[in-house]
């Protein structure tokens, strides 16, 4: 059995403001940011997006994650990432954005086939190489970053 874990964990107040630097070190220029509409409209995502822009990268934001994401929600995110040629995925927020970010990275975006029945597999695609997760810690509003 093979077990891999993250190469690094950044845990500090304001860690999301260093995401652009993290992407630049890895040669990534078009991250797909997965979040929900509240986090995007509330300004909590602003430091992350500014950091990405300052690193001369262009983020593609999917802010339509719903609580307990549905398969169609995941497929919409996956298609948006594919259509925009994103080279990495950033999950920003709580459990639902993290789940959508992780599943949107998969070649077969539906992990729900055992519940919903067989699906037509999506066409082959070039997948982003990296996944970055920025969970919001309860009551602290301190995003952390993993690389």
**pTM for this one?**
0.74
Tell which wins on pLDDT, 101 or 144. 101
**Is the separation of the CB atoms in 90 and 146 below 8 Å?**
no
DSSP structure class, residue 77: H
Pairing type for strands 9-10 and 145-146 reads: antiparallel
User: 129: domain CATH number?
Assistant: 3.40.50.1970
Q: Would you say residue 130 lies in a domain?
A: yes
φ and ψ of 29, to 5 deg: -125, -10
Where b means 16+ CB within 10 Å and e means fewer, 83-106 reads: eeebbbbbbbbbebbbbbbbbbbe
Q: Which residue has the higher pLDDT, 89 or 10?
A: 89
- Specify if 137 maps to a domain: yes
Beta bridge partners of 135: 93
15: pLDDT confidence band, cut at 50, 70 and 90? confident
Q: Domain count of the chain?
A: 1
Of all helices (H) and strands (E), which one includes residue 92?
strand 88-93
Is 34 inside any structural domain? yes
* pLDDT interval class at 4 (50, 70, 90): low
**Could you tell me which of 101, 94, 92, 107 has the C-alpha nearest to residue 74?**
101
Tokens of 99: 């789940």
> What are the phi and psi torsion angles at 95 (to 5°)?
-60, -40
**What tens digit of pLDDT does each residue of 36-86 get?**
999 999 998 999 999 999 999 999 999 999 999 988 998 899 889 888 888
Domain region containing 20: 9-114+123-146
Largest CA distance in the chain: 44
- Decide if 1 is inside a domain: no
Using CA atoms, how far apart are residues 122 and 64, in angstroms rounded to an integer?
21
Model confidence pLDDT, tens digit, residues 87-134 = 888 889 888 998 898 888 764 443 333 333 444 444 444 545 566 666
Q: What is the pLDDT of residue 82?
A: 85
């Amino acid at each position: 059995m093979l077990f891999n874990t993250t190469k690094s964990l950044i845990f500090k107040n304001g860690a999301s403001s260093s995401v652009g630097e993290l992407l630049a070190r890895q040669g990534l220029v078009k991250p797909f940011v997965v979040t929900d509409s509240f986090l995007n409209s509330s300004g909590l995502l602003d430091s992350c997006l500014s950091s990405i822009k300052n690193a001369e990268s262009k983020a593609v934001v999917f802010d339509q994650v719903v609580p307990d994401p549905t398969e169609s929600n995941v497929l919409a995110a996956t298609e948006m990432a594919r259509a925009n040629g994103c080279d990495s995925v950033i999950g920003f927020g709580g459990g639902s954005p993290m789940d959508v970010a992780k599943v949107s990275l998969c070649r077969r975006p539906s992990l729900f086939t055992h519940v919903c029945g067989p699906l037509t597999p999506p066409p082959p695609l070039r997948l982003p190489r990296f996944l970055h997760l920025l969970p919001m810690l309860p009551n602290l509003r301190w995003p952390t970053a993993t690389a």
